Structure 1
């Protein structure tokens, strides 16, 4: 902490944590979220065929984390829709991305330099949502660490966790794309961030909330900007996760090999039993034939 103070990073972190996200950063969040919606197969055709369904999908992309968190905490899932300013902003962004003449708005925001700035701004909102979610859960459950982590995780990646519901609105059902089964980088990072903010809230992590917000935002923005610029779908957590999972949970290949060996032995045993049964039956028939020949003689 003394090092941070000597470098004036403490003041910078405090000032950064107080920067309001509405409306500038929120608009960037809506733009990138709905831009990803437009990338989905059939999303453009859906917007022409059923604008209401397309709008609902866009609202889930923008506010799915709030809806899911409210459901988990026992609040009304439509509570956030009382924020008229946010709904109007998100609706305006949806209309411009899908229906702007000559597709001009889409071309501007998807232009890579502009998109990278918007991606970084979106991560600012994501980290704030995680921190607010932890604080909100702590207000309801002071010692519920698991609940705090869960709400922070949902706040940071609720859109991805509700992807199957959003797909249903588009008439698509792909249960194999469940986000929990195949976590993307934002979902994993939101989970790890929720754990860090929960430890900080419980005073187990010797760092102030403003510093944690600053450094975790810097990490998230840097990773997402780099991944977007290089069109990478990998995860910076992969090397560490592979080592830890191998030590703690074993290798999935070993499980598959064990399953294959078990299946092979089971099949081999069944074959031997079947062969023995067939052989016994042949011996029985041979004995019967010999008795009949002897009686005839």
Structure 2
């Protein structure tokens, strides 16, 4: 077979998510939940409350199907149609939380890079699958297509908000929090999922005239590249400069800056007047 650029891109669109990519997703969700619980309480949460630890991890592992069912009005029992996935995710949860050395091994920087690379492949598949699923039900409602794709790409981050409540974790969120509230501090992947979902919607409505396999593969490559750079500490959030510019234009930032300049100018004028008045008195 002649493995040229287009055939390689086509191969990326034919990958099967189960079992490899789904298991990687389960591993990352178990790691995220254990890390969140360990930084939020002063004791080993998974040892004192194993049921809550298991339920919250299962919520993250199945966040996509749960939110899609709620969004489309489907029965949540659909999630239980694959008992093998529940069993595998439970084994992953047990290994991460109770088998010595597993958590340390999986949090190694280079192993993390491999895991997140596979996760980004699954993310793009999820976003595209959400857009395609919505197009079969509401083909003329572009907002539904975008929203469902976006939900499929960021479901675990959204579900983390509810998982914290179930675990009884209530804390003040800042940008430096391990897993901050995604609605208060949207992550880079949260924004990237919205961008990817919008791109696939534009492709669906033929506003983007590009070979699908090339667009799909390039999207995967860009997300993997950004994610690895973020893990290695090379970049933080590439969307921040555009956010700052957008907020300055749309949400009153320019007007606030203008008022600040005017206020400082008035203070300077008043100070100069006071100095001049003092000189006049001394003279």
* Offset at residue 195 of structure 1 (A): 0.4
Q: Which residue of 2 aligns with 1:84?
A: 83
Q: Which residue of 1 aligns with 2:154?
A: 157
CA contact (8 A) 2:153 2:193 kept: yes
* Offset at residue 13 of structure 1 (A): 0.9
CA contact (8 A) 1:71 1:77 kept: yes
Q: TM-score, normalised by structure 2?
A: 0.81
SS of equivalent to 2:76: coil
CA contact (8 A) 2:31 2:96 kept: yes
SS of equivalent to 1:230: coil
* Offset at residue 38 of structure 1 (A): 1.3
Match of 1:238 among 237, 240, 244: 240
Rounded to whole Å, the distance in 1 between the matches of 2:242 and 2:216 is: 23
Rounded to whole Å, the distance in 1 between the matches of 2:250 and 2:190 is: 21
* Offset at residue 254 of structure 1 (A): 1.6
* Offset at residue 75 of structure 1 (A): 0.7
CA contact (8 A) 2:22 2:122 kept: yes
For residues 236-270 of structure 1, what are the alpha-carbon distances to aligned partners after superposition, in whole Å with 9 as ceiling and x for unaligned? Answer: 12222322333344418828968xx9xxxxxxxxx
* Offset at residue 65 of structure 1 (A): 1.9
SS of equivalent to 1:18: coil
Q: Which residue of 1 aligns with 2:211?
A: 208
Rounded to whole Å, the distance in 2 between the matches of 1:255 and 1:180 is: 26
Match of 1:128 among 109, 125, 128: 125
Q: Which residue of 1 aligns with 2:201?
A: 198
* Offset at residue 209 of structure 1 (A): 2.8
CA contact (8 A) 1:134 1:198 kept: yes
Rounded to whole Å, the distance in 1 between the matches of 2:88 and 2:254 is: 45
Structure ranking higher in helix proportion: 1
Alignment pair present for 1:182 and 2:188: no
* Offset at residue 172 of structure 1 (A): 1.4
User: In 2 relative to 1, CA 157–223 (structure 1 residues): closer, same or farther, beyond 3 Å?
Assistant: same
Alignment pair present for 1:95 and 2:98: no
Rounded to whole Å, the distance in 1 between the matches of 2:77 and 2:189 is: 24
CA contact (8 A) 2:123 2:153 kept: yes
> Residues 1-297 of structure 1 correspond to what in structure 2 (within 5 A)?
8-40=4-36, 41-42=39-40, 45-100=44-99, 103-174=100-171, 177-230=180-233, 234-251=236-253, 254=256
CA contact (8 A) 1:127 1:156 kept: yes
Query: What 5-or-longer segments of structure 1 have no aligned partner?
Result: 1-6, 262-297
CA contact (8 A) 1:153 1:191 kept: yes
CA contact (8 A) 2:58 2:89 kept: yes
Query: What 5-or-longer segments of structure 2 have no aligned partner?
Result: 174-179, 264-283
CA contact (8 A) 2:40 2:169 kept: no
SS of equivalent to 2:101: helix
RMSD of aligned residue pairs (Cα, Å): 2.3
CA contact (8 A) 1:200 1:208 kept: no
Q: Which has the higher contact order (CA 8 A, sep 6+)?
A: 2
CA contact (8 A) 1:14 1:210 kept: yes
* Offset at residue 98 of structure 1 (A): 0.1
CA contact (8 A) 1:46 1:170 kept: no
Q: TM-score, normalised by structure 1?
A: 0.78
* Offset at residue 178 of structure 1 (A): 3.6
Q: Which has the larger radius of gyration?
A: 1
User: In 2 relative to 1, CA 171–204 (structure 1 residues): closer, same or farther, beyond 3 Å?
Assistant: same
* Offset at residue 213 of structure 1 (A): 1.7
